[in-house]
Structure 1
Amino acid sequence: MWQFFHKLGSPRWFYGIANRFMPWFLVIGLALTLTGIVWGLAFAPKDYLQGNSYRIIFIHVPTAFLAQSVYVMMAVAAVVTLVWRMKLADVFVKSVAPVGAVLTFLALFTGAVWGKPTWGTWWIWDARLTSMLILLFLYFGVIALAAAISDEKSSARAVAVLVLVGVVNIPIIQYSVEWWNTLHQPSTFKLTEKPTMPVEMWLPLLLVVLGLYLLFGWLACYRVQTEILWRERRTQWVKSLIQPRGVA
């Protein structure tokens, strides 16, 4: 286990192992996501209260779920950065922060689209909505801080501290509907509890969630690989990757 952990900190080793998994992540992720979305939007039954407007959950719930998960992953990588000083952990944080920001924006936007017919308004300073907006600002803060500090070591430490400070917002998002009286409904989908929806609704939702996680895995590997090539561009192993065949 520890041997694998230390190997994971090697940019060259990670670059090679990522190449093996990325095609699988992409193909299976696309298949699951498209199947779930088509099933949910075209074939799942209407909700007895919300009618067809509920179908936005097949985009809103997976993006909101993944947006929070990405930040938790960043927090774990931030601990690795501060404790074990692994450069790859810092690369991961800075590579996936823009992805997390896009996911959070999509969750907020689709939530607003859902909220209009459900609550009669695009936005309200509800506890769940406000804490998700704070998550978006945290992602922006990580991106801005990473770009503002040129020294890699100082940047890695500063970004890691900011990520760990901001992770307190994740349980607030999760339990906001239980701690406060809010308009936002309780979580539609929980992995630890039996779904309250019929199988025709929750199964396509589960497919989209799993598919998006795999697509995130592919995109994260791609972005991390790109950053590795830039940081390691002067090393021999990277030069051998980009060297044209037949050139000594």
Structure 2
Amino acid sequence: MITYLANPARFLRFSRFATPIAGWGAMIALLAGVYFSLIGSPAAQDHGQNVRMMYVHVPAAWCAMAAYTGIAVASLISFIWRHPLADSAARSLAVPGAAFTFLALVTGSLWGKVAWGTWWQWDGRMTSVLVLFFIYLGYIALWSLIPKRQLAARLAAILAMVGWINIPIIKFSVEWWNSLHQTATISQPGAPGLPSELLLPLLVMALGYTFLLAWFALRGTEAEIVAMRADRKPSQAPATVTLETLSS
């Protein structure tokens, strides 16, 4: 599948039907998720109405890590096989990934103030997510500040691959160090889990965020392909020389 989509023409054919699916899926899932989150789900026993912040915070954190993992994988493919479309896919995930990370930081801070009485705590989870945000900014800056595409792609790929070590740190930080942040409620084996009335809106919102991230990635890669094709076109039309102009 990766080899098939490595061709820009085949990727554009794929994105022609995948992009609308991702867009409509995001809109439907997010509308349903907002309804379930605000109206269809009850308040939590421990956090009351503040639990509704979870439906924004947790999917944003998931997508922040998923987007960066996508960047790291695409960067690895680019670094080994030197394929420009992998660079385009990685670059298209950077801005939405940074936005999801920023959203996770802001909502986490708001939730922390209510739940723990502090806006910020320099524990492993919060600090590593902040580091992820700065890595995103550094990755975006490399693409923006280096005019030569090949050099920018090479340096950005190295940063992305090295920076991926922060993803497992984010994931396991609450188990490795003492933290105010709660441990995994869903993904960890043996975790207590959530009641179905709280789990359903969380999963629907996560699905909507995932569709939205896919839509951003597809649209961004499409734009990158168009820009690369435009750069290859000659800036001026070739001169037209005829016998009449030479004789005159």
Fold equivalence (TM over 0.5): yes
Q: 2:228 aligns with which of 231, 240, 248?
A: 231
Sequence identity, in percent? Answer: 39
Structure index of larger Rg: 2
- Partner residue of 1:121? 118
- Bigger shift: residues 89-98 or 193-202: 193-202
C-alpha contact (below 8 Å) 1:61/1:188 kept by paired residues: no
Question: Of 45, 52, 64, which aligns to 1:67?
Answer: 64
Q: Structure 2 residue aligned with 1:208, among 205, 209, 212?
A: 205
Within a 5 Å distance, the mapping from 1:82-161 to structure 2 comes to 82-161=79-158
| Contact 1:71–1:167 (Cα < 8 Å) also in 2 | yes
Q: CA deviation at 1:194?
A: 6.7
State the 4+ residue runs in structure 1 displaced beyond 4 angstroms.
191-195
Q: Distance in 2 between matches of 1:69 and 1:92?
A: 13
Q: Is the 8 A contact 2:92 2:216 kept in 1?
A: no
List runs of 5+ in structure 2 lacking aligned partners.
234-248
Question: Equivalent residue of 2:137, what SS?
Answer: helix
Q: What amino acid is aligned across from residue 172 of structure 1 in structure 2?
A: I
CA contact (8 A) 2:74 2:89 kept: yes
Q: TM (normalized to structure 1)? A: 0.89
133-142 or 89-98, larger mean C-alpha shift: 89-98
Equivalent residue pairs, number: 233
Over aligned residue pairs, what C-alpha RMSD do you find? 1.6
CA distance in 1: counterparts of 2:90 and 2:16, whole angstroms: 20
Q: Distance in 2 between matches of 1:6 and 1:98?
A: 25
Aligned pair partner of 1:172 in 162, 169, 181: 169
Of 196, 201, 205, the residue aligned with 1:199 is 196
Higher mean C-alpha deviation, range 125-134 or range 211-220: 211-220
Which residue is equivalent to 1:36? 33
Unpaired runs of 5+ residues, structure 1, are 237-248
